[in-house]
Amino acid sequence: MTTAKRRPRRIAADEAHSWARHLRLRNPSAKDVLKNLTLYVDGEGYCWVSIPTLAEDLEMSADTIRRRLTWLEMVGAIARQAQWIDEYGARNGEQRGRRTSDKIRLLFEADVDAIEARAAGETVDAETDTISTASDPSKLLGSNSRADPPSGPPSETRLGLVRPSHCGEGLISEPESEPEPETPKAPDGGGGAIAPSAQEIEPEHFAEAWKAYPGHEVMRRDLALEEFRKLTEGQRRLCRAAIPHFVRMKAHLKQDKFPNFHIWVRTGGFNEFPTAVLEEVSSPAAQTSTSYDVAGREGRALKALHGLARTSLFETRGRVNYSLPMTARVLAFAELPPENAWQWVDAPAQLAAWSAFLAAHIAVRRPELASVRTIDGVPRRGFMAPWPWPPRKDGTIASPSSDEAGENE
């Protein structure tokens, strides 16, 4: 007989599907969504799938998927946790980075009778575990709309979905497209067209920024305009000027996927390029490199960055050329701590973060940074760095006690 701890039971996809199939929810579309979730379940009962994927699988609208997920959560069949992805691609629940698909858990361990009772419009007393008929089933979320009220006894009718999902945004960062509002018409007998209000007038720089942003053709202009209105005049100019720099950075990294414009604006992505000027927007392709005074902030930062990466930087007559966008992260290198205050970095996550940072900001091929050092008799692969983590996108430095590679606040 062994005393070793038994491994926790793993949930198989066929077991999850059988559980979902045998639930009596009286809501066919919600049950279809639940059964489809079982196609993406892992051994712990979690599902990693987005609303667009579910909508494509089931040939439903994204808004319908959101409502069904909310209903399934209310009856106790699933639980959801909001998730974000930080600048290093790490998923987290601390609101760092951009919004992504929720973490959905199938509640296998929940009382099946209680789930079916809630789905039928009955209430469950958590203390006594007794079930009673709801006095007004229409107040619960179900599957019918107001235009098609349920008929028959409450126990035989399906519950009506009469409210939008309270956490629909929690599963994807881009909600379903909505039709553009119609232009208001002058009332009968009026003398002319209605003058547009201040809210209807697009702020300066928006149209140019919108057209310059890659992929805007399939993005929502109304959401982008709403976020753009919240910016100050200076932020709007910088946002428009930063777009060509952002495009060049993506091209250097050989990445062709861009976040939705309204999300990029909302998260202040343009602040990564504080030196961008508006004149560069008209001809971003014509500029291949920029010359900086070696004694200036940009020049000092570039020399320090290339010194860390052990790469050469072309300098002539007191000026250095740089072919990539000047970002706030690069400018952070203008003020480095003394070399005797640098530290040995050897954690895999830190090495990966530094490698990704240098790949994005060094235009030439760089040698391998890491070397091997014996610490406490154990060889450790790493390198000397001024900080534990690379600068954040806004140019700030994580505290020495921080162990978060994705901090970007």
- The reply to whether 270 and 301 lie within a common domain is no
Give the integer Cα–Cα distance in Å for 26 and 23: 9
Tokens linked to 73: 């959560």
When pLDDT is averaged across residues 29-55 and rounded to a whole number, the result is 90
Q: State how far the Cα of 38 lies from the Cα of 143, in Å rounded to an integer.
A: 21
Domain limit, last residue, from 238, 254, 284: 284
Whether 327 and 245 map to the same domain: the answer is no
Residues paired with residue 316 on neighbouring β-strands, in sequence order: 319
Long-range CB contacts (within 8 A, 24+) of 106-109: 106/11, 106/16, 106/19, 106/20, 106/34, 106/37, 106/38, 106/41, 106/45, 106/46, 106/47, 106/77, 106/78, 107/45, 107/76, 107/77, 107/78, 107/79, 108/11, 108/16, 108/19, 108/45
Helices and strands of the chain, counted as H and E runs: 12, 12
pLDDT of residue 134: 45
Per DSSP, 269 falls in state G
Do 293 and 280 share a structural domain?
no
Measured distance CA(8)–CA(109) in Å, rounded = 14
In this prediction, residues 374-401 reach a mean pLDDT of 81
Encoded tokens for 62: 């994204």
- CA–CA gap between residue 213 and residue 209 (Å, rounded): 6
CB 20 within 8 A of CB 31: yes
Mean pLDDT, residues 75-80: 92
Looking at the chain, the whole-number percentage of residues with pLDDT higher than 90 is 20
User: pLDDT tens-digit profile of 286-311?
Assistant: 456 788 888 899 888 888 888 888 77
Integer angstrom CA distances of residue 198 from 92, 203, 291, 405:
39, 9, 42, 42
| Residue 171: closest CA among 78, 32, 303 | 78
State pLDDT tens for residues 389-399. 889 888 888 77
Q: Is residue 356 part of a domain?
A: yes
Alpha-helical (H) ranges within 77-128 are 112-119
Please list, in sequence order, all residues whose beta carbon lies within 8 angstroms of the beta carbon of residue 113, skipping any fewer than 6 positions away: 131
Query: 159 and 235: one domain?
Result: no
240 within a domain of the structure (yes/no): yes
Evaluate whether 10 touches 43 at the Cβ level (below 8 Å).
yes
Statement to judge: residues 333 and 278 lie in one domain: no
Q: What is the pLDDT of residue 232?
A: 93
Residues of the chain above pLDDT 70, percent = 71
Same domain, 161 and 293: no
Structural domain contains residue 258: yes
- Asked if residue 107 and residue 86 are part of one domain, the reply reads yes
Instruction: Please provide the average confidence, as pLDDT, over all residues in the chain.
Output: 76
57 plus 163 within the same structural domain: yes
Task: Say if 176 falls within a structural domain.
Answer: no
The mean per-residue pLDDT over the stretch 274-286 comes to 60
In-domain check, residue 224: yes
303 and 264 in a common domain: no
Q: Within its chain, how far is the Cα of 340 from the centroid?
A: 38
Q: In sequence order, which residues have a C-beta less than 8 Å from that of residue 173 and are 6 or more positions away?
A: 98, 99, 100, 259, 260, 263
Q: Which comes out higher in pLDDT, residue 11 or 147? A: 11
**Residue 8 within a domain:** no
Confidence (pLDDT) at 325: 83
Looking at the DSSP bridge assignments, the partners of residue 19 are none
Residues 38 and 153 in one domain: yes
**Domain range for 151:** 13-170
Total domains present in the chain: 3
Q: pLDDT for 312-347, tens place per residue? A: 777 777 888 888 888 888 899 888 888 888 888 888
Give yes or no for a contact between 23 and 107, defined as CB atoms under 8 angstroms apart: no
* Domain identity same for 139 and 242: no
- Residue 94 is which amino acid? E
> From CA 264, how far away is CA 287, in angstroms rounded?
24
What's the CA angle centered on 391, arms 253 and 319, to 5 degrees? 75
Most confident of 19-23, 276-280, 399-403: 19-23
Does the residue 381 lie in any domain?
A: yes
Tell whether 188 is covered by a domain. Answer: no
Same domain, 59 and 143: yes
Q: Examine the fold and report which residue of 170, 192, 214 is the final residue of a domain before the chain moves on.
A: 170
Burial class of residue 344 in the structure, from the number of CB atoms within 10 Å of its CB (0-12 exposed, 13-18 middle, 19+ buried): exposed
Residue 359: pLDDT over 70: yes
